[in-house]
Amino acid sequence: MPNYYDIDTILAEEELLTVKPKFAFAYLSHLDPDTHHRNSMMSRKRPRADETNGDKGSSRSSSANHNHRLPEGTKIKMPLWAVDRWAMLNFVKIPVLPKHYRQKMKERLEADAVHMNLSAKSDHYFLAGILITNLLLRTVHVHKRNASSRSSSRAAADAEAVAMEQLAYDARSLQQSLLTAMMGDRLCRNFDWTLSALDAMEDDVSDWIGRLSVLERHMFERGVEASGAVKTWREYGCSRMGVSLAVVKGRSMGGGKRGSVTPSSSGSGVLGGGGEKQRVVTPNL
């Protein structure tokens, strides 16, 4: 399950999914503006017809009921966090993935992932995609677990089973596409740009950063920090550095040594000038 307190996860769960209710929902017509407008127009016409027949009370209650009804099979868009529970309860079905996760987009990523501007599609492209695949796979698992307890016709059961198999295939395909795009040439190019970001004489990296999703920008920032630390170590690494006791014990237990560890006299100390020694290390550059 996603971390409830993670800001990036909260924002990624705002990704809109297209769903269809499997039965009519009362008082949810506002989720579909077209349905709400159509029901409002119909409710205005009904009282006039009922008034001529002298049935005012029942007409008001029935029109109010119908006015807020969301019909079965209506296409509506809902955020991922709202769809999750309904999908687990088998209240809705997910007919299609968002446009930027469909086959055409996967083919573009496979052809040239480096030059794709993913931030224009979704700031949390990879994280939202992972959450969607998890939702689809959990939906298929719950459906298979409860399939035997449902009483339905053979044809309807077979059709639903085929739909679940297609849903599982789409989820695995999207999962593979996201993994390939995130860990392939795009990741290598991202780390290459972290080296250029340290030198003011190199190319401007703002254009590259503008194409990245939030997850990739976090990786870029960590790469810049690591590159800066390596650069600092190379500049000042020739001087003698004190070794912590934990490192000394770990190397003595492991038996392997990296760099030369030599004892050095501390000279006369303030507490009587004893022969205390300090271990120092010179890194191998």
Rounded distance between C-alpha atoms, residue 106 and residue 215, angstroms: 18
The residue to which tokens 């996860």 are assigned: 9
Rounded distance between C-alpha atoms, residue 11 and residue 18, angstroms: 18
Rounded distance between C-alpha atoms, residue 121 and residue 114, angstroms: 15
Q: What integer pLDDT is reported at residue 248 of this predicted model?
A: 83
Going by C-beta distance under 8 Å and a sequence separation of 6 or more, which residues neighbour residue 126? 118, 178, 181, 182, 213, 215, 216
How many other C-beta atoms are found inside a 10 Å radius of the C-beta of residue 5?
Answer: 7
The residue to which tokens 């340290």 are assigned: 198
Q: Are 70 and 24 in contact (CB under 8 A)?
A: yes
Q: What integer pLDDT is reported at residue 277 of this predicted model?
A: 52
Question: How far are the Cα atoms of 104, 141, 237 from residue 119, in angstroms, in the given order?
Answer: 17, 32, 39
Q: Please list the pLDDT of the chain residue by residue as tens digits (285 residues).
A: 566 788 999 999 999 999 999 889 888 888 887 765 666 666 666 555 555 555 555 555 555 555 678 888 889 999 999 999 999 988 998 988 999 999 999 999 999 999 899 999 999 999 999 999 999 999 998 888 877 666 567 777 778 788 888 889 999 999 999 999 988 889 999 988 888 776 655 567 888 888 999 999 999 999 988 888 888 888 876 566 677 788 888 888 876 545 554 554 444 444 444 555 555 545 554
Q: What integer pLDDT is reported at residue 127 of this predicted model?
A: 94
Domain ranges for the chain: 1-18+78-183, 24-71, 190-236
Predicted TM-score (pTM) of the model is 0.70
How many other C-beta atoms are found inside a 10 Å radius of the C-beta of residue 67?
Answer: 18
